Amino acid sequence: MRRYLLDLGPFRTSPAYLRFWISGVVGGIGVQLTAVAIGIHVYELSGSTAAVALVGGLALAPMIVMGVIGGAIVDAFDRRRVLIVASSISFVAPLGIAALAWAEVTDLWPYYVFTTLSSTMGALVGAARFAIHPRLVPREQLPAVAALSGLSAGLQAALGPALAGILVATVGFAWTYSIDVALFLVGFWGIVSLPAILPEERSETGWAAVASGFRFLRGAGNLRTAIWLQLVTFLFGRSYAILPAVGALVVGGDATVVGLLTAAGAVGVILSGLLSGRLGGVRRHGAAATAGTVAMGAAVAVFGGLLLAFDATGAPASEVRPDMVALIALCAALALVGAADNVAGIFRTTMMQSATPDALRGRLQGINTLVLTAGPRAGDVYAGLLAAGGILWLPPLLGGVVIVALALLAARLRPTFRHYDALEPVP
């Protein structure tokens, strides 16, 4: 049975990685807490899913710029120092949002400004964290690191939203944002405690470095396909922008319901991560990533179908007593979405870390960070705007079908991706 459980080898091999992982979980919980609270807050102030979608949509352009140049910065300088500077700038965002809430500011644009700052610097932080992992553990432990990263993301996405729903419903927005400030400081501890991580070889700087990253990716068909699959799932598989409306119009109840719905996907991530031990023995990473993406798309479509079914009943949602049948069914579907996406993500991440030279890892993740950060925001815009007319089931039902179709098409067009062998990683 132990072979099926999560491999904790990287914790024993590298105490620095253990500290980095723990602090990342704690700090990430704060980020997720504020992300969910902001969605509820903006929806409460505006009553519009489109306004919620703009929380992420307005950050797209700055994140694209930072994602492009951030990877080159990571490859050229001490990665620990880059992470410290980027995190310090990002700390302004939770401080500012908390101050706005305590001052009871009702204008939306200041909240948009601080969330844009957080998302922009998050692109640089993500590139640095990705490039640091392979320097802390041996190469053979990268699949375990990918699984632990998925578990970390799952814990953040489960605990943060659930905590946000409880705190917003009990102590209000100002205290909720203030708790994020405290969690951020804990996350900063793991960064400061890292050793210096200098480039293994001298790297280009400026636009020449950016261009070399894109040249590498242009010749790396397998990695392009992995990034493409990630982008597809973000664009058409995101449901977070509509969850406040689902809670208010379909399930009923208070902000706690929105927190539970948002956390459900992360529960699936956690469960699949805890049972990921056998995944380290899979060699066909491309085929496994495709299968996971197809399963994820099917689960997204199921979520949309459930929304359609509950909408067809015509029963009005109660603010006092939520519909428990709807809540349980929708949470189960979202848990399946998270589990399938995490399995696919483990193989995608391992491919990108093992098949990319260390001197280019920052730039590759800088490009991939565009997907990891801008992709969800674009997905929120897609879901929020498509559901703006009150048709909440349409974005996930349509999006799930699109994910399945595009994943199968990508695998069909790239035979080398289908046959990718982990023992002979080819970018």
The structural domains of the chain, with segments of one domain joined by +, span 10-418
Question: Structure tokens of 373?
Answer: 């950060």
List C-alpha distances in Å: 32 to 67, 106, 260, 318, 326: 20, 22, 13, 27, 24
Per-residue confidence (pLDDT) for residue 299, from 0 to 100: 95
Q: Tell me which amino acid residue 50 is.
A: A
Write out pLDDT tens, residues 368-400. Answer: 776 776 677 788 888 888 887 778 888 899 999
**pLDDT tens digits for range 30-49:** 988 888 888 888 888 888 87
Rg of the chain (C-alpha set)? 20
- 50 or 333, greater pLDDT: 333
Q: Which residues contact 248 (CB under 8 A, 6 or more apart)?
A: 43, 317
Cβ-proximal residues to 33 (8 Å cutoff; 6+ apart), any chain: 160, 161, 163, 164, 167, 176, 179, 180, 183
| Global confidence as pTM | 0.76
First to last CA, the chain: 34
Burial class of 120 by CB neighbour count within 10 A (0 to 12, 13 to 18, 19+): buried
pLDDT level of residue 361 (50, 70, 90 thresholds): confident
Q: What percent of the chain has pLDDT over 70?
A: 95
pLDDT score, position 210: 77
CA–CA gap between residue 40 and residue 42 (Å, rounded): 6
Q: What percent of the chain has pLDDT over 90?
A: 19
Higher pLDDT, 36 or 208: 36
CA angle 53, 58, 61 (to 5 degrees): 135
336 pLDDT exceeds 90? yes
Confidence of residue 295 (pLDDT cuts 50, 70, 90): very high
**Whole-number mean pLDDT of the chain?**
85
Question: Does the pLDDT value for residue 205 go beyond 70?
Answer: no
pLDDT > 90? residue 59: no
**Residue 242: band (very low, low, confident or very high) from pLDDT cuts 50, 70, 90:** confident
pLDDT score of 319: 64
Residue 315's pLDDT is 58
Return the CATH number of the domain spanning residue range 10-418. Answer: 1.20.1250.20
**What is residue 100's predicted lDDT score, i.e. its pLDDT?**
92
Mean pLDDT over 139-159 rounds to: 83
**What local confidence, expressed as pLDDT, does residue 373 receive?**
65
11 or 54, which is more confident: 11
Q: d(Cα 87, Cα 186) in Å, to the nearest integer?
A: 12
pLDDT at site 204? 67
Q: Are 252 and 141 in contact (CB under 8 A)?
A: no
Once rounded to an integer, what is the mean pLDDT over residues 412-422?
87
Using alpha carbons only, give the angle 92, 96, 101 rounded to the nearest 5 degrees: 155
Mean pLDDT across 319-338: 85
Q: Of 325, 359, 354, give the one whose Cα is nearest residue 427.
A: 354
- How would residue 318 be classed by pLDDT, with cut points 50, 70 and 90? low
In terms of Cα–Cα distance, which of 214, 157, 399, 203 is closest to 299? 399
The answer to which of 65-79, 303-317, 397-411 has the lowest mean pLDDT is: 303-317
Contact between 379 and 238 under an 8 Å Cβ cutoff? The reply is: yes
In the predicted model, what is the mean pLDDT of residues 62-91? 85
pLDDT of residue 314: 59
> With the CA atoms of 23, 26, 28 and 30 taken in that order, what torsion angle do they form, in degrees rounded to the nearest 10?
-140
> What is the average pLDDT across 300-322?
77
Kindly state the average pLDDT of the residues 290-306.
94
- Which pLDDT score is estimated for 404? 95
Cβ–Cβ under 8 Å, residues 403 and 236:
yes
Per-residue HEC secondary structure of 326-355 comes to HHHHHHHHHHHHHHHHHHHHHHHHHHHHHH
- Reported confidence tier of residue 240, pLDDT bands at 50, 70, 90: confident
Name the band, by pLDDT with cuts 50, 70 and 90, for residue 203.
low
Distance CA 221, CA 112 (A): 37
